[in-house]
Amino acid sequence: MRKLKAAISYECLTSFKHIWIFYGITFSIVGIIFIIIGISTGDSEVRGTISLEVNSMVYVGILGVLGFKEDFKMLIQNGFTRKYIFIATLSLFAFISSILSLVDTIISRVLHEAMLYDSVFGGLYGFDQPFIMNWLILFLFYMSVCCIMYLGVLTVNRLGKRKSLIIGLGLLMVLALLLPAIFRYVLDDRARSMTVELLLKGLGIMPDGKVALVNPCVLFIALTGVFGFVSYLVIQRTELKA
Amino acid sequence: MAGIEIHGVTKRFGDVKALDDVTVTFEPEKIYGFLGRNGAGKSTLINIIANRLFADGGSILIDGTPAAENMGVHDKIFCMSEADLYDDSMRIRDIFKWTGRFYDNFDIDKALEISKKFELDTGKRFKTLSKGYQSIFKLTVALSLNVPYLIFDEPVLGLDANHREMFYDIMLREYAQSPRTIIIATHLIEEVSGMIEDVVLIDSGKILFCEEVEKLMEESYCVAGLSSQVDDYCRGKEVVGTDQLGALKQAYIIGEREKIAGNDSLQFSQVNLQKLFIKLTEKGGESI
């Protein structure tokens, strides 16, 4: 357990400083945009729509990739097994996701009160939802993004660039062309509305207009679980590529 | 302690058979030279021992414990690799600090002392070091770890002669203070020939032999003379290679030295490890 603790500490402590660099850059850009808009429109009460959650999602996505690329090498050099590396990496994802979701929740609520900013969460579920649910859903969402990206990079490493590119393009075709085509031309109106309803229900937006925050929690837990488990299976057969 | 026991290990990379039924044992508290040409399979075997690659078949035991995916061997073995696997944006002293947290028997004071000897700036980031100093850093980590099995994969890459000498000195001093198994995979055979006890020779993924250096040197020799006389002498002997210059021939033989009465024109001499290595591997080990 002591070794595992050391690996988790390494993952978390060496990534911690990057969070503040990320927020520093994000808020600098947001600040500059506000100043430019303010100067050009002369309106000091500009309501922002720059989504913190989207920035954080990109950040955790990058973290998911780097979680494999850099830390796997360092930890395997130091004799850690893949099981330990996987647990340490998942702990890093949980650590970073919890901090980002906490900061995003606090900032979005403060800025919303100050009439400067509307978060994606607030836009979807309303601004009167409990703080803890706002944090929890963001946390689970960031965790699932990390796990999806982690599985992606593990797959690329395992299959090689060429095969991964072919699979990636195939997946892109399915998502961007095949599924929309099926949705539009194959499904009838009833099936289409049922699909949309199912997706919205999964996100917690019920047909009667009410919000069920348990649904996105279950959805993101399921995504984290499935992608995390498959990542574990892949990393168990992952070899070092110099 | 049972050493590192490798049984029938095979490894393929696509169509290439990198290791072919490799069986060898690295015994405790010995210094091994692990020799082989480029692409012979040295690094592949080392990476399998260090759990960085998986064998397609066979097994590796470290003191009787399976080496693959086993934290039970974590504090028994350390492998200094030729590849740069460290976080290159990290400062050297921070990597020392983390290594100290990862390993129970990492001596950070020793690491700083060795760094000082090599004039390695521990305040620098790994990526800003020259290739030679990156090797020095990796050597420093390995030499400051008191593990029973220490593997060096091309340890002196990019090091100048002085630094190489320093490394060998420190390594031998550490070995004298605390005997352990040291495996050195290198191309600089002559440099290590004086300090290794046993030599393991690998070629085209197969172990050609594992032998005590002293015994190997005793059992191998070189005979030179006129081509026809050398050919006559070599008949029925285990000739591992020959060199020809005009009518003169030199043959490298493994076996007991036998002088034939009345044939004083043949000259016998000791063969050095590097020459023997070249001769043994130039035909892909056919002569064995």
For every residue of chain B, DSSP letters joined together read ---EEEEEEEEEETTEEEEEEEEEEE-TT-EEEEE--TTSSHHHHHHHHTTSS--SEEEEEETTEE-TT-GGGTTTEEEE-SS--S-TTSBHHHHHHHHHHH-TTB-HHHHHHHHHHHT--TTSBGGGS-HHHHHHHHHHHHHTB--SEEEEESTTTT--HHHHHHHHHHHHHHHHHS--EEEEE-S-HHHHHTT-SEEEEEETTEEEEEEEHHHHHHHEEEEEEEHHHHHHHHTTSEEEEEEEETTEEEEEEES---PPTT-TT-EEEEPPHHHHHHHHHTTTTTT-
Task: Give domain status of residue B95, yes or no.
Answer: yes
Question: Is B211 contained in some domain?
Answer: no
pLDDT digits (tens, 9 = 90+) for A190-239: 888 898 899 999 999 898 888 899 999 999 999 999 999 999 999 999 99
Question: Quick check: B19 pLDDT over 80?
Answer: yes
Assigned domain for B19 exists: yes
What pLDDT is stored for residue B287 in this prediction? 45
User: CA distances (Å), A95 to each of A14, A43, A110, B79, B95, in order?
Assistant: 12, 39, 23, 30, 22
- pLDDT (mean) for B248-275: 84
**Contact state of A80 with B74 under an 8 Å Cβ cutoff:** yes
With beta carbons under 8 A apart, name residues in chain A contacting B53: 239-240
The answer on pLDDT for A38 being more than 80 is no
Asked if B87 contacts B95 with a C-beta cutoff of 8 angstroms, the reply is yes
Write out the residue range of the structural domain in which residue A164 sits.
2-235
Asked if B13 has any chain A CB less than 8 Å from its own CB, the reply is no
Structural domain boundaries, residue B163: 4-204
Average pLDDT over residues A23-28: 83
Give me the residues of A, 179-238, that contact B with CB < 8 A.
236-237
For residues B36-47, average pLDDT: 93
Angle (nearest 5°) at CA A106 between A101 and A110? 145
With helix as H, strand as E and coil as C, how does chain A read? Answer: CHHHHHHHHHHHHHHHHHHHHHHHHHHHHHHHHHHHHHHHHCCCCCCECCCHHHHHHHHHHHHHHHHHHCHHHHHHHCCCCHHHHHHHHHHHHHHHHHHHHHHHHHHHHHHHHCCCECCHHHHHHCCCCCHHHHHHHHHHHHHHHHHHHHHHHHHHHHHCHHHHHHHHHHHHHHHHHHHHHHHHHHCCHHHHHHHHHHHHHHCCECCCCCECCHHHHHHHHHHHHHHHHHHHHHHCCCCCCC
Look at residue B188 in the predicted model and tell me its pLDDT.
86
| Per-residue confidence (pLDDT) for residue A48, from 0 to 100 | 57
Whether B78 has its CB under 8 Å from any CB of chain A: the answer is yes
Q: How far is B187 from chain A (nearest CA, A)?
A: 20
Interface of B with A in 216-255 (CB under 8 A): none
Last residue of a domain, one of B180, B204, B228: B204
pLDDT tier at A186 (50, 70, 90 boundaries)? confident
Domain presence at residue A240 = no
| Percent of chain A predicted with pLDDT > 70 | 94
Q: Out of B47, B74, B87, whose CB is closest to A3?
A: B74
| Residue at A241 is within a domain | no
Domain boundary among B204, B231, B251: B204
Q: Domains in chain A: how many in total? A: 1
Confidence (pLDDT) at B274: 87
- Contact B281/A at CB under 8 A: no
Same domain, B236 and B199: no
Q: What is the pLDDT of chain A when averaged over all its residues?
A: 87
Which A-chain residues 76-105 have CB contacts (< 8 A) with chain B?
A: 76-84
Weakest mean pLDDT among B10-19, B21-30, B45-54, B210-219: B210-219
What is the structure's pLDDT at B262? 63
Q: pLDDT at position B184, please?
A: 96
What's the gap in Å between the CA of B224 and the closest CA on chain A? Answer: 45
pLDDT digits (tens, 9 = 90+) for B136-154: 999 999 999 999 999 999 9
Pairwise CB contact (< 8 Å): B52 & A76: yes
CB-CB under 8 Å, B70 with A79: no
- Assess whether B234 and B150 both reside in one domain: no
Q: Quick check: A10 pLDDT over 80?
A: yes
Considering the domain boundaries, does residue B210 fall inside one?
no
Q: Do B90 and A14 touch (CB under 8 A)?
A: yes
Interface of B with A in 33-62 (CB under 8 A): 47, 50-54
Are B148 and B8 within one domain? yes
The rounded percent of chain A whose pLDDT value lies above 90 is: 45
Residue B131 falls within a domain, yes or no? yes
The answer to whether residues B267 and B192 belong to one domain is no
Check if the beta carbon of residue B216 is closer than 8 Å to that of residue B277: no
Model confidence at B288, pLDDT cuts 50, 70, 90, reads: very low
Question: Is B129 in the same domain as B184?
Answer: yes
Q: Residue B285 pLDDT > 60, yes or no?
A: no
CA distance A80 to chain B (A): 7
**Structural domain ending residue among the three candidates B184, B204, B224:** B204
Instruction: Decide if A72 is inside a domain.
Output: yes
Closest Cβ–Cβ partner in A14, A74, A242 for B83: A242
What pLDDT is recorded for position A50? 55
Is residue B102 very low, low, confident or very high in pLDDT (cuts 50, 70, 90)? Answer: very high
Chain B residues with beta carbon closer than 8 angstroms to that of A84: 71
A111-167 pLDDT, tens digit per residue, is 887 766 778 888 888 888 999 999 999 999 999 999 999 999 999 988 888 888 899
Show residues of chain A in contact with B101, CB under 8 Å.
Answer: 6, 9-10
ipTM of the complex model: 0.87
Residues B239 and B106 in one domain: no
Question: How close is the nearest chain A Cα to the Cα of B74, in Å?
Answer: 6
- Rounded mean pLDDT, B153-162: 91
Contact at CB, B51 and A9, closer than 8 angstroms: no
Among A106-115, B18-27, B56-65, B72-81, which stretch is predicted with the lowest mean pLDDT?
Answer: A106-115
Q: How many domains does chain B have?
A: 2
Tell me which of A78, A157, A238 to substitute to probe the interface with B (most B C-beta atoms closer than 10 Å): A78
